[in-house]
A and B are shown apart, each in its own frame.
Chain A
């Protein structure tokens, strides 16, 4: 089952391999406890993240989407996160027009060494999405 009904919401994360995925690993190595809602998809670079993946996830079942890449100036591929920032900001402004709360979508930057920052991002974002509640009607079968 996708999420445990009543306990979790469905949150999908797109993480760049070099920074944020590593940051999430670092958080794990440090045993920094986090809510369990997040499901992580690894991509090489935040610049690989087509805003349409976020749209696709939100329309089809996710209650929240988190994107995280390397800090500006620190992109493994030098410019990928700059393109990501422009595209994702565009999306962030567009979603509410379609009736999807912009707070369901968050993008940020976490480096491979920032395990604690990752823990905070996940914890805060999960709380934020729970604050808004589910985006989709949950199927009975999920209980």
Chain B
């Protein structure tokens, strides 16, 4: 066995605090190591060539690279050794950057630690075995979760690429948050006017199958072959019959239903179509308000419906769809302003959220675009906007910036002036964050052309005084406190993860961060991939972002799906469990613990019962290996002997 070890300086990232020459020198003394050298950038082209050349020149058969995290470059170097003719699993990385040079301050200790990491990696690589992938067929259908602008974009791009798309939207209509907006910054385009055609495209695309008012119930399978259970929630209206005429909504006697589309700005009917441009334009009954459900009698809608579509007996239905890839575009939520006690915590009717204000501005909203105070329906003259309402506030549990509030506040201030030329808007802000194309100019226009007064400082309290709301805050530029008597206060409450985001992540086996936003595979280089192959991210589910970024991510996720589905077969990761039939005693404890039901019982000729791994189902976790008492089932590339080699290298000497 001839091991070659390549120790990377990573410029000064490693060499700055690790004596790389000494690591190389000590490495040469390890039995089995035939060649060791340190180099400036091992991942660079000359660096990789150096590995390939050394393999040929010194007849090396195993390679160790001591550099950054294998999560960064393992794949890069596996390809390198493969190009030089070695099996790609005859390769190990010693992480001497993230786990060493970047975290330890003492050069001597770091150097020693790096040498240890190399010794463990050499011990492991000497136990490595060649592994070979096998290929399996790919289902070319795509599941998109979430019918907001990001999800719709992904669905349309995938469908235009020729793949059948299953689009699951939990609310009764696609459109998401964007469908609720009045205008978009910085162009003041009418939001629904640009979104509406996309929604129609989704509805009319031959290859898109839309499940509105539905949720993903269960995800089984693996990349290329997922089985998805979808819960179609009961709408109590047979959508195959409903024409969306709206008769029912007009005649429904229950007028106090909460309108989630309008964020409760005004009530709606117990049977309703969320908004005029809804796709699908179908009615649904809210049983918490419908008299047929609460009182047991009414039946007005059933009587009036011209197509007899009403069905009070309807129940949730579970359907199964098979797909090969999944795009998660499940959107975001908004911070409950009850958490903001100093701003009234939702107790004052004239302190509203920005999305509610958006509905007031909207011509198809509940006030037909007239800005009125919720308390007395009078037109406000003084409007105060409070930015960073919860955002960048650890005590609220939102340590991050919500990304687009600064911009929509500027937009809403501009629109306020447009609607009511004699009004005056104030904005309390912490910093104006406007780093997009045309964005900074836009916030300046709000101030310079529309006379919005920007006050740099936080609002400490909002309280009522007669018909007015007093907004008390600091002006940190002037070093004074300010009080503004407002007719209406608009809070830019923080963007949060969508309700239920962790539960969906658990179904998909993807990670989420402490704020419940989904974690991308690499923050810079793999922004729409997840660590679960076949599952991609788009839109605010991954973190707050504005419309162009969401659309961009939707297309990016679709591009990833399309490139994956351009192949008829995918290769499996050969690092999966394998049974040694001679050693297996047939106790089948592995069958019990496998999280994927990937192990079955097999009777050999002669009657001996052993465990058998279904290759395409095994995900490579290794729970079976640590369940098996006799070591008969071994997770390849992480076998007992391979891990013991590392343990021994680190402990025995």
**A19 in the interface (beta carbon within 8 A):** yes
Interface residues of A in 25-53 (CB under 8 A from B): 25, 27-29, 31-36, 39-45, 47-51, 53
Nearest opposing residue in chain A for B510, CB measure: A76
B506, A77: Cβ atoms closer than 8 Å: no
What's the Cα separation between A28 and B651 when bound, in Å?
Answer: 24
Determine how close the nearest CB of chain B comes to the CB of A10; give it in whole angstroms. 7
The 8 Å CB contact of B112, one of A1, A49, A112, is A1
Determine how close the nearest CB of chain A comes to the CB of B399; give it in whole angstroms. 11
Contact bitstring B633-653, A, C-beta under 8 A = 1, else 0: 001001010011011101111
B103, A28: Cβ atoms closer than 8 Å: yes
Chain A residues with CB under 8 Å of B635's CB are 44, 48
Determine how close the nearest CB of chain B comes to the CB of A102; give it in whole angstroms. 19
A44, B638: Cβ atoms closer than 8 Å: yes
Most chain B CB within a 10 A radius of its CB, from A27, A29, A42, A53: A42
**B98 in the interface (beta carbon within 8 A):** yes
B113, A36: Cβ atoms closer than 8 Å: yes
The 8 Å CB contact of A4, one of B102, B112, B532, is B112
A34, B104: Cβ atoms closer than 8 Å: yes
B105, A33: Cβ atoms closer than 8 Å: yes
B511, A111: Cβ atoms closer than 8 Å: yes
* One of B165-173, B490-498, B616-624 contacting the partner: B616-624
Contact bitstring B488-521, A, C-beta under 8 A = 1, else 0: 0000000000000010011001011110000100
The SS class assigned to the B binding surface is: helix
- Given the known interface contacts A56-B647, A112-B519, the answer about A48 and B621 at a Cβ–Cβ threshold of 8 Å is yes
Task: Report the count of interface residues on A (CB-CB < 8 A).
Answer: 58
Chain B residues with CB under 8 Å of A36's CB are 100, 103-104, 106, 109-110, 112-113
Interface residues of B in 501-548 (CB under 8 A from A): 502, 505-506, 509, 511-514, 519, 531-532
What's the Cα separation between A35 and B104 when bound, in Å?
Answer: 7
**B595 in the interface (beta carbon within 8 A):** yes
**B99 in the interface (beta carbon within 8 A):** yes
Determine how close the nearest CB of chain A comes to the CB of B116; give it in whole angstroms. 6
**B71 in the interface (beta carbon within 8 A):** yes
B509, A78: Cβ atoms closer than 8 Å: yes
Chain A residues with CB under 8 Å of B511's CB are 18-19, 70, 74, 76, 111-113
Nearest opposing residue in chain A for B593, CB measure: A83
B103, A74: Cβ atoms closer than 8 Å: no
**A12 in the interface (beta carbon within 8 A):** yes
A43, B99: Cβ atoms closer than 8 Å: no
Nearest opposing residue in chain A for B515, CB measure: A113
> Ordered nearest first, which 4 A-B pairs have the shortest CB separation?
A28-B98, A48-B622, A77-B621, A61-B651
A-B contact list, 22 entries, CB within 8 Å: A27-B103, A28-B69, A28-B103, A29-B98, A32-B103, A33-B104, A35-B104, A40-B95, A41-B120, A41-B643, A47-B622, A47-B626, A48-B638, A57-B650, A73-B502, A76-B511, A76-B531, A77-B509, A77-B595, A77-B623, A87-B626, A113-B519
Q: Which residues of A contact B (CB under 8 A)?
A: 1-4, 7-8, 10, 12, 17-19, 21-22, 24-25, 27-29, 31-36, 39-45, 47-51, 53, 56-57, 60-62, 70, 73-80, 83, 87, 111-114, 119
